[in-house]
């Protein structure tokens, strides 16, 4: 048993080293989930800096609700800042107002594998004496200015869970940018209990289920069962404070060398979708807007991976119609989080969040998975166009998919 435990620890250690080498980080610290990794990071920062009266974590008003839950579990207070509906980035003016002497950390999210400039947020956090955390849970392998997202700030958060760029059936990690940050996290991770044998078996089962679910037929069945809305349920926000399993580490070691090719294929499918959607009235591409803004303002080319392609439609009714049309043809379109953070956590709402509300009501995400063919992008675009304008769009849809 002791020999097995030593071998298990070695497997996880090798994976940690491989992750750090891939990202160019000083060190990486894995846990049973991204939520567990974030909890350990936040409690470490709270213990280190909380004595100065810093108890708030600033979050986008539209993002994964588990970020709010983990913040509360860590004994901290979430504070929400509105986002632009066409870039999904923080409203910079509102961020500057929200960050202050009580701010412990600001979490900047790179949603759907799309890198967002963080220089403004980093400066705002630094000026206030707060820490910036990059949430790259959906963006492992995306780049901004030649650097992997999640490695510019002092700490980066990554997920290895279902539907992420590199999924090991669960798990997550925090990367540290420098030796001092690594030393800070090492003290927290030293007390992390190892994964149990049962957790390893569960991870293996989950990976097998996921492999089936992301097949076109499997995805359709999973969608009909409501799997795409699991993240909105508080039952899915919990986490176990344990380490990554050896099985997950082994899967990660096998997948990591393939990640650049997987992401390049996703990017190509995302670009094909954007080209097919261009010119359709009522369809707005926040991914394209964010990348364009980055090039213009900072001359740092963005290299997204398009884990999914997000689009904003002109109304909630149009979004629902397009969603139904795509699902009826077997395309795994998603509505993601249909509520803002203020709606998930009303006790912590502080004002209005009109940008986040628009995103929650009108965001549609389109699949970029490997099973899509070259014909699927124009077909999806045609289905959306017809759903937005049934009578006028039919002829153009036929021409588009011929």
pLDDT digits (tens, 9 = 90+) for 92-124: 899 999 999 999 999 999 999 999 999 999 999
For 83-211, where are the E strands, in sequence order? 103-109, 131-135, 143-144, 147-148, 155-159, 172-176
pLDDT at 380: 97
Q: How many domains does the chain divide into?
A: 1
Q: How far is residue 70 from each of residues 137, 279, 335, 350, 361, measured CA to CA in Å?
A: 14, 41, 23, 19, 24
Residue 170 is classified by DSSP as S
Cβ neighbors of 346 (< 8 A, separation 6 or more) are: none
Cβ neighbors of 66 (< 8 A, separation 6 or more) are: 35, 231, 236, 237
> Is 402 part of a structural domain of the chain?
no
Nearest Cα residue to 289 out of 196, 361, 355: 355
Residue 178 tokens, joined:
């420098």
pLDDT at 395: 41
Q: How far is residue 158 from each of residues 56, 147, 308, 375, measured CA to CA in Å?
A: 21, 15, 16, 32
Cβ atoms of 401 and 379 closer than 8 Å: yes
Domain residue limits at 82? 1-395
Report the CATH number at residue 37: 3.40.640.10
pLDDT at 186: 94
CA–CA gap between residue 154 and residue 193 (Å, rounded):
25
> Is 82 part of a structural domain of the chain?
yes
172: helix, coil or strand? strand
> Is 69 part of a structural domain of the chain?
yes
pLDDT per residue, tens digit, the chain (402 aa), is 333 333 355 689 999 999 999 999 999 999 999 999 999 999 999 999 877 789 999 999 999 999 999 999 999 999 999 999 988 999 889 999 999 999 999 999 999 999 999 999 999 999 999 999 999 999 999 999 899 999 999 999 999 998 899 999 899 999 999 999 999 999 889 888 887 665 555 655 555 555 555 555 555 555 555 555 544 555 555 778 999 999 899 999 999 999 999 999 999 999 999 999 998 999 999 766 555 554 545 556 889 999 999 999 999 999 999 999 999 998 989 998 999 999 999 999 998 999 999 999 999 999 998 889 999 999 999 999 999 986 444 444 444 554
Cβ neighbors of 71 (< 8 A, separation 6 or more) are: 42, 57, 59, 77, 78
> Is 400 part of a structural domain of the chain?
no
How close are the terminal C-alpha atoms of the chain, in Å? 62
Cβ neighbors of 30 (< 8 A, separation 6 or more) are: 12, 15, 16, 19, 37, 160, 171, 172, 173, 243, 244, 249
Q: Tell how strand 27-31 and strand 172-176 pair up.
A: antiparallel
pLDDT at 3: 34
Residue 310 tokens, joined:
């997000």
CA 57 to chain centroid, in Å, comes to 18
Largest CA distance in the chain: 70
CA–CA gap between residue 368 and residue 163 (Å, rounded):
11
pLDDT at 255: 95
> Is 338 part of a structural domain of the chain?
yes
375: helix, coil or strand? coil
CA–CA gap between residue 257 and residue 245 (Å, rounded):
19
Nearest Cα residue to 171 out of 243, 70, 74: 243
Q: How far is residue 208 from each of residues 105, 204, 218, 307, measured CA to CA in Å?
A: 37, 6, 12, 20
CA–CA gap between residue 291 and residue 357 (Å, rounded):
22
pLDDT at 108: 97
> Is 241 part of a structural domain of the chain?
yes
pLDDT at 30: 96
> Is 401 part of a structural domain of the chain?
no
Q: Within 13 Å, how many C-alpha atoms sit on residue 321's CB side? A: 16
pLDDT at 56: 98
> Is 353 part of a structural domain of the chain?
yes
28: helix, coil or strand? strand
Does the reported pTM lie above 0.85? yes
């Amino acid at each position: 048993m002791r020999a097995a435990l030593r071998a298990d620890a070695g497997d996880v250690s090798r994976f940690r080293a491989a992750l750090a080498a891939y990202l160019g980080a000083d060190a990486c610290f894995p846990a049973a989930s991204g939520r567990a990794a974030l909890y350990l990071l936040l409690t470490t920062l709270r213990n280190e800096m909380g004595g100065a009266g810093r108890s708030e974590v600033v979050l986008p008003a539209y993002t994964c609700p588990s970020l709010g839950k983990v913040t509360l579990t860590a004994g901290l207070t979430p504070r929400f800042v509105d986002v632009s509906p066409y870039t999904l980035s923080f409203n910079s003016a509102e961020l500057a107002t929200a960050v202050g002497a009580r701010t412990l950390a600001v979490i900047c999210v790179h949603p759907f594998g799309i890198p967002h400039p963080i220089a403004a947020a980093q400066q705002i956090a630094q000026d206030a004496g707060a820490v910036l955390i990059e949430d790259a849970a959906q963006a492992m392998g995306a780049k901004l200015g030649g650097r992997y997202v999640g490695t510019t700030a002092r700490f980066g958060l990554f997920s290895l869970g279902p539907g992420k760029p590199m999924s090991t059936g669960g798990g997550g990690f925090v990367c540290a940018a420098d030796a001092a940050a690594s030393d800070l996290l090492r003290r927290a991770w030293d007390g992390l209990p190892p994964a149990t044998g049962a957790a390893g078996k569960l991870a293996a089962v989950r990976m097998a289920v996921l492999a089936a679910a992301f097949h076109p037929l499997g995805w359709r069945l999973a969608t009909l069962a409501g799997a795409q809305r699991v993240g909105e349920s508080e039952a899915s926000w919990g986490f176990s404070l344990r380490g990554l399993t050896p099985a997950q580490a082994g899967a990660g070691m096998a997948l990591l060398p393939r990640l650049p090719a997987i992401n390049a294929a996703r990017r190509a499918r995302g670009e094909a979708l954007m080209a097919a959607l261009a010119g359709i009235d009522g369809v707005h591409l926040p991914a394209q807007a964010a990348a364009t803004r980055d090039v213009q303002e900072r001359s740092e080319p963005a290299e997204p991976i398009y884990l999914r392609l997000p689009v904003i439609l002109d109304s909630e009714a149009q979004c629902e119609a397009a969603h139904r049309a795509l699902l009826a043809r077997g395309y795994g379109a998603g509505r993601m989080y249909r509520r803002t953070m203020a709606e998930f956590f009303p006790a912590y709402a502080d004002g209005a969040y009109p940008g986040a509300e628009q995103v929650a009501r009108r965001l549609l995400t389109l699949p970029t998975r490997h099973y899509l063919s070259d014909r699927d992008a124009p077909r999806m675009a045609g289905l959306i166009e017809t759903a937005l304008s049934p009578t006028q769009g039919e002829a153009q849809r036929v021409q588009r998919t011929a």
